[in-house]
Structure 1
Amino acid sequence: MRITALTLRNIRSYESFQADLSGRSVVITGPNGAGKTNLLEALTLFGPGRTLRRSRLPEVVRQGAEEGAGAGITLCDDGEDERRLVVTIPPPRFDKREIRIDGEPVRKAGTLTDLLRFLWLTPAMDRLFMDAPGDRRRFLDRIAAAGSSAHAEDTARYEKAMRQRMAALEQGAPPQVLSALESEMAASGVKIAGTRRETAESLARGYEALRQEAFPQASVFIEGDVDLMLGEKGPEAAMEAFRARLQGNRRIDRDAKRTLVGPHRSDLVVTHLGKAMPAKLCSTGEQKALLIGLILARAAAAKGQGGSALVLLLDEIAAHLDETRREALAQTLEKLGLQAFLTGTDEAAFAPFLPDMDHLRPGAGQIGSLA
């Protein structure tokens, strides 16, 4: 399915916004401050968890708005069947999402992933290979969720049990309470590690499907205690080993005031295959190309798995690409056959894309129109 309409009310810079789309990919251009990234962020309201900017819901609502905020999209498939998805953020606290699909209320945001999934790349991610492990874990989990609708739920269950266990340790809860929470952490944690591992393995299939040379291939290794347990022992034995490790670490974790073992401490290790060089040692341009290559490979692999529609959100994507790579990106997106939304300030940089894409020029806070 493809996005064929987008409407916003009181989202970021937009008091109101409406655009009808053809269902093709979309190039969004305009000066800084025009609201280009705000449109991409609005789309990510239709996914689980935080938005593209990692914002909390009150931060997404337009400053000074007193009425409710929200976004709506229309999805259409080749057979012209339509689905209408609406997310509302009600006042006065603006701290929760109310979701409707075809007018019917939906209780969980995760339900939206049955229809729609997003992969995105933003300038804030350009230093991913240099930043803290937590940033790389979030990136890995996001690309994992593009192929597994259960991954976000597994992660939420794990993190909830981990918080409850830490509170129980601090309160001196009885062993049976701790054991139940540790069993939940072990079950969810091994599932998380398994999905991450499957995601890393899928990248090789994605690179093979794309067969492009402009964006270098990378090898991906997930480094962590639970990942090692899973690789050496298999799921059942890894689950028991992780549970036993948590039980043995109760005093250590209580004193440290944090859980010292688990998939929440794993790291993503990426290597430039062509140079046999760690990504963190590559040049800035090579790191950007590696990131784009990873996103494209994951998109190719996820598309091969079928399921809900996958949409790529590529913010300021052409800014640091030479002409050869811009043309290669346009060709690869066409080959993938997925809908993508691309933003940038320089219209000329999108010359390779525009013949086959819609072109949207929004103004901050104004009604958008198709060029």
Structure 2
Amino acid sequence: MRGLAVTSLSLSHFRSHRAARMEFDRRPVAFVGANGAGKTNLLEAISLLSPGRGLRRAAADEIARRPEALGWKVTATARGLHSDHEVETWAEGGASRQVRIDGKAATQVMLGRLLRIVWLVPAMDRLWTEAAEGRRRFLDRVTMSFFPDHAEAVLDYEKAMRERNRLLKEQVVDAHWHAALEKRMAEAARLIRAHREGAVARLAAAQAEAETAFPRAALSIASEDPEDLAAAWAEGRRRDMAAGRTLAGPHRADLTAIYDAKGIAAAQCSTGEQKALLISVVLANARALAEDLGAAPILLLDEVAAHLDEGRRAALFDEICALGAQAFMTGTGPELFAALGHRAQRIEVAEAAGLSETREIRP
């Protein structure tokens, strides 16, 4: 199976990289180098070829290289679902992020229709034990990979909810204003629910159908929301007004996971088991997308090899290669990727005087 791929990447004033250009041959790519060399910055740049704020969730003005603060730019040639495309995304000093595809202005949502990018970063290791907000964000990111329009539904819902919350805080009691906003929220919430449930179902099927070295995570969406949210919001206005915010809706849902073979909640598993469950979900996401699209998504795996034993590392690499996925991985040394052999490109990332530099390691 031929996967989606980034075939060239250029950076300008992007975090520690003043300027960089790399060519990729569609194989998995291992970025190796010392901590702080700028490896994760490269993954972040690739993550911005998809909708949203990237794998660090950074605001546009946080990304520009300091002290220049001139703005930043990422340019890539990418193999999409049907053809190759030139993608540019950038932000000038103090301005919001912009996107251009094949020389034409585009929206971030259009990036999601062009490429599908799935990532796993060390901050996600706490997914099963942190607050529900992090799991919702993870769920929505997975959901968006299956349903690119999910991003618009979430934005519509959040915008209407912010307006409703403002009315609540200001003690505005005009029923017509509230009803109009609650109708918009309910329409978006219906799509959010359907998309999330569809994504969880796809993950379940992808895990059940695969033989893998990583344990199956039984996932479900925990929510106390009634079916008719518009009616619930209308009835609960006084309560919400007292709280100053909306107390029911998809913004309060949670993603739960059970280590299926042991029947134990993910939050109660060991650190290693939690990591293995997370990898299992990410791989299931990739397998399901590959089946749906006929092309494997791009994977961004930050420091993933360092937290696995040798056997699991080899199993992970084998799964990535079997999918035909272009995976961008980071690690402190090439020995972490020895099991990949000739199946991967290796690029050294080094830092000197505050500047990151890249160099392909030839066999």
Aligning the two structures, in what range does the TM-score lie when normalised by the shorter sequence? over 0.9
- TM-aligned CA deviation for residue 2 of structure 1: 1.4
Q: Given that residues 289 and 296 in structure 2 are in contact (C-alpha distance below 8 angstroms), is that contact kept between their aligned partners in structure 1?
A: no
Asked if 1:82 corresponds to 2:72, the answer is no
Q: Given that residues 209 and 300 in structure 1 are in contact (C-alpha distance below 8 angstroms), is that contact kept between their aligned partners in structure 2?
A: no
Aligned to 1:334: 321
Within 5 A, what are the aligned runs for 1:252-267? 252-267=239-254
Asked if 1:270 corresponds to 2:244, the answer is no
Within 5 A, what are the aligned runs for 1:113-262? 113-171=112-170, 172=172, 174-212=174-212, 214-226=213-225, 229=226, 238=227, 241-262=228-249
Q: Which amino acid aligns with 1:122?
A: V
Aligned to 2:37: 34
- TM-aligned CA deviation for residue 306 of structure 1: 1.0
- TM-aligned CA deviation for residue 309 of structure 1: 6.4
Distance 2:298 2:263 in 1: 31
Aligned to 1:2: 5
Structure-2 change in CA distance of 1:309 and 1:180 (3 Å): farther
Offset from partner CA, 1:138-191 (integer Å, 9 cap, x none) = 111111111110111111111001001111233415211111110111111121
Asked if 1:281 corresponds to 2:268, the answer is yes
Distance 2:108 2:250 in 1: 23
Within 5 A, what are the aligned runs for 1:19-98? 19-76=22-79, 82-91=84-93, 93=94, 95-98=95-98
Gaps of at least 5 residues in structure 1 are: 230-237
Distance 1:77 1:166 in 2: 40
- TM-aligned CA deviation for residue 254 of structure 1: 1.5
Distance 2:89 2:56 in 1: 17
Asked if 1:300 corresponds to 2:283, the answer is no
Q: Which amino acid aligns with 2:221?
A: I
Structure-2 change in CA distance of 1:54 and 1:65 (3 Å): same
Number of residue equivalences: 354
Aligned to 2:304, the other structure's residue is in SS state: coil
Q: Given that residues 13 and 65 in structure 2 are in contact (C-alpha distance below 8 angstroms), is that contact kept between their aligned partners in structure 1?
A: yes
Q: Percent identity?
A: 39
Q: Given that residues 24 and 358 in structure 1 are in contact (C-alpha distance below 8 angstroms), is that contact kept between their aligned partners in structure 2?
A: yes
Aligned to 2:12, the other structure's residue is in SS state: strand
Distance 1:257 1:119 in 2: 36
Which piece of structure 1 moves more, 313-322 or 110-119? 110-119
- TM-aligned CA deviation for residue 307 of structure 1: 7.5
Moved over 4 A (4+): none
- Which of 330, 344, 351 lines up with 1:357 in the alignment? 344
Q: Given that residues 117 and 308 in structure 1 are in contact (C-alpha distance below 8 angstroms), is that contact kept between their aligned partners in structure 2?
A: no
- TM-aligned CA deviation for residue 78 of structure 1: 10
Q: Which amino acid aligns with 1:368?
A: T
Distance 2:59 2:32 in 1: 26
Distance 1:147 1:345 in 2: 32
> Which TM-score applies when normalising by structure 1?
0.91
Aligned to 1:312: 299
**What CA RMSD, in Å, does the superposition of the two structures yield over aligned residues?**
1.7
